[in-house]
Amino acid sequence: MENKTRLHYSKLRQAVEKTACRKIATPRDFDFLAIRIADITGARVSPTTLKRFWGYIPNESNKIPREYTLNILALFVGYKDYDAFCKNIDESPGTESDFLNNKSINTSQLNIGDSVKIMWSPNRTVVIKYLGQDMYHVTESINSKLQVGDTFHCKGFIENEPLTLFSLHREGKVPTNYVCGRNNGIRFKVNPSNLGGG
């Protein structure tokens, strides 16, 4: 297997784990990931297939994954397909991995009804409300392709990093994924629905 292909596979595994917010290392992790992929993409990849791609099954790590599997994993992390993922990796200058110490918040830290104001260049502002179970809906959109009423799934927000919205639903449209701040990342501000009362 070519070194470049190995690099792409490694980066894809890292991106999947980042999107899933979970290190994939045990049978339970692979079961979880298979369900998560189905929830987000609407497509099925079996835990056994995922184990092969992660090299969890002995002597299986050098087998070439099916194009279908690679495309679904790329879709899961916010790309149109595997080719688009590889193109982004190849065209990205500088270091491809690093620790993130940026301001961040996980969906689990929010309460239903909390609003999050998201901003990214150039002059894009969107306000979203948390509905529970990683789902949000857009309540305000300025200079963005997102529209009021759009709903989507998201695990959390990291300042100055791109934000991928999964299973974006809009009335009359096929669900898709959407990336905010692909080049320079986003900024965000949380507005709690209840400031303590009284």
Q: Where are the domains of the chain?
A: 3-91, 104-191
Q: How far apart are CA 116 and CA 103, in angstroms?
A: 14
**One-letter amino acid identity for 131?**
L
Please give the average per-residue pLDDT across 66-91, as a whole number: 90
198 has a pLDDT exceeding 50: no
Could you read off the pLDDT of 99-136 as tens digits, one per residue? 555 678 888 889 999 999 999 888 899 999 999 999 99
**Mean pLDDT estimate for the chain:** 86
Please, what is the angle between helix 27-41 and helix 47-54, to 10°? 110
5 has a pLDDT exceeding 90: no
Q: What is the pLDDT of residue 60?
A: 57
92 has a pLDDT exceeding 70: no
Q: How far apart are CA 131 and CA 137, in angstroms?
A: 7
Cα separation of the two ends of the chain: 64
**One-letter amino acid identity for 21?**
C
